Structure 1
Amino acid sequence: MDEQIIADVEQWLDEVVIGLDLCPFAARPRREKRVRIAVSHATTADALLEDLQAELERLSDTPVAELETTLLAIPDMLEDFADYNDFLDAVDLWVEQFGWEGELQVASFHPQYQFADTEADDPGNLTNRSPWPLLHIIREESLEKAIEHYPEVDRIPERNIARMNALSGEERAKLFPHLFG
């Protein structure tokens, strides 16, 4: 089962995140095999926080030349976006309490992701919709370096939403088979 979950995340990463250039910083680490995709089979918040802690430690302890970022897939819980969104408060607190703030941050992706003040079927939500609930652990130093060399970084979300709005129904079905297949 883990192989399929990892394959789903890899396909999404390659075809959506990198293929549509949603994250202009993702292609290089992916090409250099410095993106870790891990699977947590936690079924409780405490167990998931323990798995997250292990991945935070692994990323912090591994040189950036070997590992740039980690995607932690969560197939056995947090299927409901509201529950997932609530759990992110615990994630932020965890990062702060264990001293990762300023070193690592966690970004969120979910199959039902919905930005505030949008309808569930708003195409802009697709920018953060992944095949599985994910916690994306990012090195802040790497992000800062990437941003230094990218013009108009603040326009990335707007550009990505426009890109999703421009996709045809067929393109959405192909890129997001877990949502439209």
Structure 2
Amino acid sequence: MPSSSTAIADTRRWVERAVIGLNLCPFAKAVQVRGQVHYAECASDDPAQLLEALLIEARALAELDSAERDTTLLVATGCLADFLDFNDFTGEAEDRLAEEGFEGELQLASFHPDFQFGGTEPDDIGNATNRSPWPTLHLLREASIDRAVEAFPDAEAIFGRNIEVLEQLGAEGWAALDVGRGSAPDPESA
């Protein structure tokens, strides 16, 4: 199991090189530059504990002003390595967030090392739009999403553009980004 610093470093590198570097999310750079992205890790091997960690992070996000924390990435390093299990868990997590009163306030996006869109092959480069080094749950404020969509009215075009970018980049280009696990040096071993 990685140290917390390694998993967070892997995730930060992925955000900086892939999400921002390839402009896969045109809204990510501003919050990253302003330090409004919170990175957290749950190392538990129990999905129930991951769900509890997600609820704790959701409460913390909702309690803080968006100028201080606009979004949270919760990295799961101890469980849900299987994409289908993770996908099922994400549905349960969305339901639980709604039960806890976050519907209309927070949205959940998910990223996984083996993410696969329905109807695609596992090695389809388009799947990389949602591939992260670790299973990751992304809490977003709906108000921030609304503001971003107002500033970028053609938000539906982002997905198609991302697929084009990744197809041009290809598997070798994606690999060259070095956004997988453990590529970042572990500060504890230095």
CA distance in 1, matches of 2:170, 2:57: 37
Q: Superposition pairs for residues 30-69 of structure 1, below 5 Å?
A: 30-69=32-71
Equivalent of 2:87, from 82, 85, 101?
Answer: 85
Question: AA paired with 1:33?
Answer: G
Q: Superposition pairs for residues 94-173 of structure 1, below 5 Å?
A: 94-173=96-175
Query: Structure 1 length as normaliser, TM-score?
Result: 0.96
Question: AA paired with 2:57?
Answer: E
Question: AA paired with 1:83?
Answer: D
Question: AA paired with 1:39?
Answer: E
CA contact (8 A) 2:112 2:133 kept: yes
Q: What is the aligned-residue RMSD (CA, Å)?
A: 1.3
CA contact (8 A) 2:11 2:134 kept: yes
1:92 positional shift: 1.1
1:169 positional shift: 3.9
Question: AA paired with 2:138?
Answer: H
Question: AA paired with 1:28?
Answer: A
List structure 1 segments (4+ residues) > 2 angstroms apart after TM superposition: 176-179
Question: AA paired with 2:51?
Answer: L
1:165 positional shift: 0.6
CA contact (8 A) 2:18 2:179 kept: no
Question: AA paired with 1:118?
Answer: T
CA distance in 2, matches of 1:178, 1:65: 30
In the alignment, which residue of structure 2 is the partner of 1:27?
A: 29
Question: AA paired with 1:178?
Answer: G
1:176 positional shift: 4.4
CA distance in 2, matches of 1:33, 1:80: 31
CA distance in 2, matches of 1:122, 1:169: 9
Query: Structure 2 length as normaliser, TM-score?
Result: 0.91
Q: Secondary structure at the match of 1:167?
A: helix
Of structures 1 and 2, the one scoring higher in RCO (CA 8 A, sep 6+) is 2
User: Does 2:9 correspond to 1:7?
Assistant: yes
Which ranges of structure 2 fall in alignment gaps of 5 or more residues? 184-190
